[in-house]
Amino acid sequence: MADREDSRLIVARLTKRYHLRSGDPPVLEAVSDISFEIAPGECFGLLGPNGAGKSTTIQCISGFYPASSGRVTIGGFDVHRDPKSARQLLGVCSQEDTLDTDFSVRDQLARYATFFRVPLREGRRRADELLRRFGLDDKAEQPVESLSGGMRRRLQVARTLISEPRVLLLDEPTTGLDPEVRRLLWDILMEARGQGVAMLLSTHYMDEAERLCDRVAMLHQGKILDCAAPQDLIERHIGAGEVEEEVRPGVVWRRPPNLEDVYLKVTGARLEVPHAQG
């Protein structure tokens, strides 16, 4: 196991182009020359509209997709040249449900741990502990199919922690969760961060990013438009004053600016800049 200080994620000039057939010219550059670094104990947010390249970025970082150019290292291991060593440190929660429905809730976690060379016995012990923390302990022996959508999502996040990863990739982990469960998940993720896990969080929820992330990158059409702490981004793009917004005809809200205002401005989803006073 690599040293805690060493287990950082470095993405250097990552580019990913999609080809219809190998050898053909690329039809799309999904990720264009992006670079960032996530230190142990840091939560880094990846924000952007659908199709911005968030999931492609995560697929390249996990080494599932090859990169067209650039380099990704996890704890010093190149994820494309030495995926086995790099991924020993990595936990991935993909956007899609990839739970193994042939196993019960508990066996599912313990079996997944064996892919990281964790013995089955130790895997079961960790599974019980995780299920308790995620509030799924009463479902331990149930088949996955009997869980609600929100519970399945929780289980999939729990599964990413079974190998005690040093780097976490979370692709929209809280989509479809009710506010209560979302908070439970935030607490667990922040606990992992407190233990020195480097965390990449892709999300649609601006409040989530603003609350959890030390830094966020605004991804649009495969490019990082800006990257800084949420508060710095707000000050840089909107200013410090209040934002005035007509939410319904005749109803005007005056509120402090938030990350959503930045997101809408820099991605160009709304061309008109909200009224702001510095």
Partner 1 sequence: MPRVDSLWGVSRVWLRFFDVFTKGVWYYLVTTFLEPILYLLSFGLGVGSLVGDVTAAGHQVSYRAFIFSGIIAQTVLFQGFMEGAYGGFVRMYYQRIFQAIAVTPITLSEVLWGELLWDTTKATAAAEVVVIIGVVAGDFPPLALVTVLPLALVSALLFSALGLAAAAYARSIEQMSYPQYLLVFPMFLFCGVFYPLEKLPPGLQILAWCLPLTSVTSLAHSLALGFPIEARAFPILLGWMTFLVAVSRRAMIRRLVK
Binding site for partner 1 (CB under 8 A): 18, 56, 59, 62-66, 83-85, 87-88, 90, 92, 94, 96-103, 107, 111-112, 114-117, 163
Which is closer to partner 1, CB of 91 or CB of 257?
Answer: 91
- Name the minimum Å distance from CB 270 to partner 1: 31
Please say whether the beta carbons of 251 and 262 come within 8 A: no
Conformational region of residue 177, where left means phi above 0, alpha means psi within -120 to 50, and beta covers everything else: beta
- Name the minimum Å distance from CB 88 to partner 1: 5
Handedness of CA 244, 180, 108, 44 (dihedral sign): positive
Which is closer to partner 1, CB of 101 or CB of 231?
Answer: 101
Instruction: Give the integer Cα–Cα distance in Å for 136 and 119.
Output: 22
β-sheet bridge partners, residue 72: 11
Which is closer to partner 1, CB of 47 or CB of 168?
Answer: 168
Going from the C-alpha of 10 to that of each of 64, 78, 171, 251, the distances in angstroms are 16, 9, 18, 46
- Name the minimum Å distance from CB 17 to partner 1: 10
DSSP string, 218-239: EEETTEEEEEE-HHHHHHHHT-
**45 token code pair:** 């947010």
Which is closer to partner 1, CB of 85 or CB of 258?
Answer: 85
Instruction: Give the integer Cα–Cα distance in Å for 143 and 123.
Output: 18
- Name the minimum Å distance from CB 110 to partner 1: 10
- Name the minimum Å distance from CB 136 to partner 1: 18
- Name the minimum Å distance from CB 97 to partner 1: 7
Which is closer to partner 1, CB of 40 or CB of 165?
Answer: 165
Which is closer to partner 1, CB of 100 or CB of 191?
Answer: 100
DSSP for residue 5: G
